Amino acid sequence: MRLSRLFFTTLRDDPADADMASHRLLVRAGYVRQLGSGIYSLLPLGFRVQQRIEQVIREELDAIGGQEMEMPVVHPADLWRQSGRYDKIGPEMARFKDRGERDMVLAMTHEEVVADLVRDIVNSYRQLPIIVYHFQTKFRDEPRARGGLIRVREFVMKDSYSVDADEAGLDRSYQLHYEAYRRIFERLGLATVAVGSDVGIMGGSGAHEFMVVNPHGEDTLVLCPSGDYAANQQVARVAVPPPTGEEPLAAEEVATPGTETIATLAAFLDVPASRTAKAAFFVTGDGRLVTAVVRGDFEVNETKLSNAAKAVGGLRPATAEEIRAAGMEPGYGSPVGAHDTLVVLDALAAASPNLVGGANRPGFHLRNLNAPRDFSPDLTVDIANARAGDPCPECGAPVTLAQGIEVGNIFKLGTDFTRALGATYLAEDGSRHHPVMGSYGIGLGRNMACIVEAHHDEKGIVWPASVAPYPAHLVAIGANRDPAVAEAAEGLYKRVTDSGVEILYDDRDESPGVKFTDAELLGMPMIVTVSPRSLAAGGAEVTDRASGDRSVRPLAEVEAELAGG
RNA sequence: CGGGGCGUGGCGCAGCCUGGUAGCGCGCCUGCUUUGGGAGCAGGAGGCCGCCGGUUCGAAUCCGGCCGCCCCGACCA
C-alpha cells in the first residue's frame, strides 16, 4: 500500500480528548476516528488490525471445532420476550419499531438466536456437541463510554456458543474455550489473568474473565502473588480464619453519643474497627429490605450480597424511614430486635465474637454482640469486600489489588435459554432434555486498544507481528533526486507485492524526518529504508521497530525475506 | 443520572474577565530552494466562533435555554 494513496492522516499533536496511550496513538497514527461518544470508525489501517485479530481468533476457535456463521444484528423483540430478557435488560439495549409497528431490538448478544436455531435444528444427542461463533457488531447504549476504544457503545465482538448434551459436556466446551482463549491472547501479545467473575444477568453456574492489568481498567482484581487465586473483586472470596476460641461475653449497652460511623465509634470506645460490626441496609428491586452485617473494617460487597440474597432487580440503599420501619436505627443499627428484613451476616463477622454493634437506639451501641445469640441471621455467607493485604483464600499469602480491563469472558450458561425457548433433544435412552449452553465473548476493538497499551513507546505504536496491519514499512528517502533510489524502492515494492505480500510503502514527497517519524508512529514491526546512503552502504537499512536494531542488508536479501512472509 | 471541564479553520490553542466585526503554531495549496530525523523563503486558500433566544447602536465576548464531547462517580457480559 502506497502511503500517498492510503486513506489516513497522521496528527502532530495529541487529540485533546484522548487520555489513554492507546486512544492517543490510534487517533494520531490514523487508525481510528471518533464519530460520537463511544462510536468509532476504523480507518483502513485500523480495519486491517481488526481483521488480523479476527483471524487469530478464527484459527484458534476452528482448532477447537468451532464453526463460523453469522447471526443478525436486528432481532424481533418477541425472541427476547421468550427468554425474559426483554424486560430484564434496561435502556442499554436499543429498541425500535419497524414499519409494521413490530417491536425490534438491536442485539447486544446472541444467546436467544442460538437457542432458537438449536430448537429448530437439533433433535438428537447425536448432533451434539456444537460450537458456533460469529464476528458481529453489537450496540450497547452504555451509560458512559470511556477510554477511547476501551468502553464503546458500538463494537465488533466475537461471540461463540457451545451447545452440549449435559453439564459434563459443557465443562469440556468451557475448558476448550479457556485454553483457546489462553492461546489467543498469547498470540495477540496480551498478558492476561483469568479471574473468576460474576455471572450477572446471564445467570449460569460459572464464569471467568480474561483480564489485562491496566491502571485505566474498570474492574478491580484480587490477585494472589503466588498465583493461587485470582478473582474479580465483585466475587472475590474473603478468607475466614479458624476460630480464636474467644468466649462470648454478656452483651451490654453502652452510651456512644455522636458515633454514627465506624471510625467515630472505634475512636470513641478505643477499639479497633475489626472489633465492631457494621450494618448496611438495602432494598431489593422487588421491595424487600436486606440488612447486611460485616465486620467494621470491611465494606459490604454488593454483588456478593445481591447474589446471596437473590435480589431481584438489584439493590439500592435503604432510606432512613425504611430502616426505622424494620425496628432499626440508622447510625446505630444492628439486626438485634429487627423485623421484616432479610438478615445476611458475613461469614467473617460471624466468626468474630464479641463485636460492638448498634443498639438500635440513637447514641447507644451494644458490646459483645454475638450471633445467633443476639440476633438470628437468615443467611451466613461471605459478603465482605476483599481488601489489599487480606489473606489469599487458597494459600493465605496477602493478596494485592489491581485494575484490569476485560478482554474476554467465558460463561457457563446452563439450560436457562434452551429451557426458556423450549429447545430439547432426545438422549440415547429416549429421554428428552434441554441442551446445556455456554457463551464466550471477545471484543475486537478493545483488544486492539489493549494491544497498543501493551506495545508502544514514546515514538508510537509497536505492533506485534501477529496483528500488525502490514509486516513492513518501506521508506524511500531522496527518491525524487536520485533515480537509483526510486528504482530500488519501486522495484523492491513491486516484487514483494507481486509475490503476494502487502507492505506499506512511503512514496510520499516528504522530508526524511517526517517519514521516519510517521514510520515509528505507525508501528510496523520492520522499517526498511532505501536511500542514497543505504545504497552506497550496500542495500537497504532494516530497522527492527521494537528493539531499534539497524543493519544494512543487500536488497535481494531483504526482498527475499519480505516476499517469504 | 450526580460532580467537574471543554466546544473558536483539518489538528493543537489564544482571544471572552473589561463587548467594537477573529488571531497564533502546525497542517493544506502554488512557486523557488532544500533533502537521513517533524526544512527555508515568498505568495495563497480556509472559520455558521456548537445551536437557539435575549440584552445592546454593536456579541466569539454579557444573560438564559438547549446540544455535543472528555474526565471522576453511579451504572455495566
Complex prediction ipTM: 0.94
Looking at domain A252-381, its CATH architecture is Alpha-Beta Complex (3.90)
Question: Distance from residue A480 (CA) to nucleotide B46 (C1'), in Å?
Answer: 30
For chain A, give the longest Cα–Cα distance. Answer: 98
- The answer to whether the beta carbon of residue A140 comes closer than 7 angstroms to any atom of strand B is yes
The single-letter code of the amino acid at A61 is: L
The mean-pLDDT minimum among A123-137, A232-246, A459-473 falls in A232-246
The mean-pLDDT minimum among A144-148, A196-200, A290-294, A322-326 falls in A196-200
Whose CA is nearest the C1' atom of nucleotide B25?
A13
The CATH number assigned to the domain with range A472-563 reads 3.40.50.800
- The answer to whether the beta carbon of residue A459 comes closer than 7 angstroms to any atom of strand B is yes
Q: Give the residue extent of every domain in chain A.
A: 21-236+401-452, 252-381, 472-563
DSSP string, A11-66: -SSPPTT--SHHHHHHHHTTSEEEEETTEEEEPHHHHHHHHHHHHHHHHHHHHTT-
Cell 438489584, residue?
A: A314
For A52-97, write each residue's pLDDT tens digit.
Answer: 999 999 999 999 999 999 999 999 999 999 999 998 898 999 999 9
Question: Distance from residue A45 (CA) to nucleotide B27 (C1'), in Å?
Answer: 21
Q: Is the pLDDT of residue A375 over 80?
A: yes
Question: Distance from residue A455 (CA) to nucleotide B69 (C1'), in Å?
Answer: 27
- Give me the A residues in range 84-123 that sit within 7 A (CB) of strand B: 90, 92, 109, 111
Cell 459483645, residue?
A: A368
Nucleotides of B under 7 A from a protein CB: 1-2, 6, 11-13, 25-27, 34-39, 68-77
Do the domains A252-381 and A21-236+401-452 match in fold?
A: no
- The answer to whether the beta carbon of residue A551 comes closer than 7 angstroms to any atom of strand B is no
Q: At what angle do helices A483-498 and A555-563 cross, to 10 degrees?
A: 20
The cell for A374 is 443476639
Q: At what angle do helices A21-28 and A444-454 cross, to 10 degrees?
A: 100
pLDDT confidence bin for A347, thresholds 50/70/90: very high
Does domain A21-236+401-452 match CATH 3.30.930.10? yes
pLDDT confidence bin for A287, thresholds 50/70/90: confident
